[in-house]
Structure 1
Amino acid sequence: MKEISIIGFSDLGEQFYSFLNQENLVLNVFDDVYQSNQENIKANLFNQYSESNSNNFYVALGYKHLKTKENILNKLQELNKKTPNFIHKTSFVNNTAVVETAVFIYPMCNVDKNVEIGKGSLINNSVTISHDTKIGKCCYISPGVIVSGNVNIGNYTFIGSGSIISNGVKIGENVIIGVGTVVTKDIPDNCSVIGNPMKFLKQPLILK
């Protein structure tokens, strides 16, 4: 019987569970609000993961909590817990790509040659990542994003659904790219952008 643990069990955690679920699976959930009547799901308080005897952990914290996600992954590493990758069977990842730990890749994604994906990043449905692109740690790439070749994406960056990132662009850390944005030039750290043509916002986008 296989046992896994998911930290955070809102919509994202339930999606993780739907992908990971299989017969004879025991699930430990760490979330302060989740309750379960299912025998194979054990509900625990959010911060009790550090006291758990479980060994395989998936951290299901979304785009609003990317730095918190990194902190938890670092703590799990200190505790010698495993944080496996998940790559959906319908996604293609080139054998030259480097995928670090705790990366979650949803269905119908295409990851090209020499791509690097940093620890804890999430690649949502139907994302294309072209050759020689580097994605930092704990990034969140929403459905339908197209990332062209030789792109560099910094840590903790959120890219909204349907955005297109042009070839050779450099995107800083802690950047928010709004839905449907076409990125044709570099974006510094801590910026919010949106639109086609892309414009920089004076006030940061609020992710809802």
Structure 2
Amino acid sequence: MYLFGASGHCKVIIDIIENENKQKIDAILDDNPKNNTLVNSNVIKPDSVKFKATDSLFIAIGNNYIRKKISQLYKLKSPVLTHPKAIVASSVKIGEGTVIMAGSIINPDVIINKHCIINTGAIVEHDSVLESFVHISPNASIAGNVEIKEGTHVGIGSCVIQGVKIGKWVTIGAGAVITKNIPDYAVVVGNPGRIIKYNKEYE
């Protein structure tokens, strides 16, 4: 098993793997490594590895756009990682490459697609749907029946009321309160949330 991205986020991923007693980490891949090791794992450049079909790769990068680009470059299987102190209902569906961090709560019939991050202490309530490459930051709360499209980043401590639809590649600022639908690419801050600008359109 390989990890991609020798960062602080990767340290959290390593901790989850160790807590879950999963397979050995062969190496951490990074295009511009600052150190040769991270948490006792070797850090190497990606082009130094000849992958086998049986290898797995977990993308340990917080940036949604970069995580998507790397997933398109490497066609390897990617595990779902769940911290043992997370609470995940049995009916939740989770796509490959997604991480569920410590203290988070995922309630019944939630659908979380590929390569998402449900960060420390986040809550995703019943029947919500998260598309791929979404990041729910620490202590953010998503109420029931919310839809969040691809690549959206929900900031630390923010909350989204029930039934809201949030577009793709949206950025929701720290502590924002989302009470109505948000269009694609919007940057939203405040309570109640207001759009202050738009992100560029990712392909």
Question: Structure 1 residue 203: deviation in Å?
Answer: 5.8
Corresponding position of 1:147: 142
- 2:7 is equivalent to residue 10 of structure 1: yes
Question: Structure 1 residue 24: deviation in Å?
Answer: 8.2
Note closer, same or farther for the CA distance 1:36–1:169 as it changes in structure 2 (3 Å cut). same
Corresponding position of 2:118: 123
Asked whether the equivalents of residues 140 and 157 of structure 1 are also in contact (C-alpha less than 8 Å), the reply is yes
Corresponding position of 1:112: 107
Instruction: Kindly provide the amino acid, as one letter, of the partner of residue 60 in structure 1.
Output: A
Structure 1 Cα separation of the partners of residues 22 and 73 of structure 2 = 29
Deviations 1:90-110 (A, max 9, x none): 111111111011110100111
Give the TM-score normalised by the residue count of structure 1.
Answer: 0.86
Q: Give the count of matched residue pairs.
A: 196
Q: Which runs of 5 or more structure 2 residues have no equivalent in the other structure?
A: none
Note closer, same or farther for the CA distance 1:26–1:138 as it changes in structure 2 (3 Å cut). closer
Asked whether the equivalents of residues 175 and 191 of structure 1 are also in contact (C-alpha less than 8 Å), the reply is yes
Asked whether the equivalents of residues 115 and 129 of structure 1 are also in contact (C-alpha less than 8 Å), the reply is yes
Structure 2 Cα separation of the partners of residues 30 and 37 of structure 1 = 10
Asked whether the equivalents of residues 107 and 126 of structure 2 are also in contact (C-alpha less than 8 Å), the reply is yes
- 1:48-87 alignment, distance < 5 Å: 48=48, 51-53=50-52, 55-63=55-63, 66-77=64-75, 81-87=76-82
Give the TM-score normalised by the residue count of structure 2.
Answer: 0.87
Note closer, same or farther for the CA distance 1:118–1:90 as it changes in structure 2 (3 Å cut). same
TM-align CA RMSD: 2.3
Structure 2 Cα separation of the partners of residues 98 and 135 of structure 1 = 10
Identity of aligned residues (%): 26
Structure 1 Cα separation of the partners of residues 157 and 77 of structure 2 = 32
Structure 2 Cα separation of the partners of residues 125 and 182 of structure 1 = 19
- 1:1-208 alignment, distance < 5 Å: 4-21=1-18, 25-31=24-30, 32-36=32-36, 41-48=41-48, 51-53=50-52, 55-63=55-63, 66-77=64-75, 81-202=76-197, 204=199
Question: Structure 1 residue 67: deviation in Å?
Answer: 2.7
Instruction: Kindly provide the amino acid, as one letter, of the partner of residue 29 in structure 2.
Output: F
Q: Which runs of 5 or more structure 1 residues have no equivalent in the other structure?
A: none
Structure 2 Cα separation of the partners of residues 56 and 101 of structure 1 = 11
Deviations 1:140-175 (A, max 9, x none): 110001100000000000010111100000000000
Asked whether the equivalents of residues 174 and 189 of structure 2 are also in contact (C-alpha less than 8 Å), the reply is yes
Note closer, same or farther for the CA distance 1:86–1:186 as it changes in structure 2 (3 Å cut). same
Note closer, same or farther for the CA distance 1:37–1:124 as it changes in structure 2 (3 Å cut). closer
Structure 2 Cα separation of the partners of residues 175 and 129 of structure 1 = 17
Structure 1 Cα separation of the partners of residues 47 and 134 of structure 2 = 23
Structure 2 Cα separation of the partners of residues 37 and 76 of structure 1 = 22
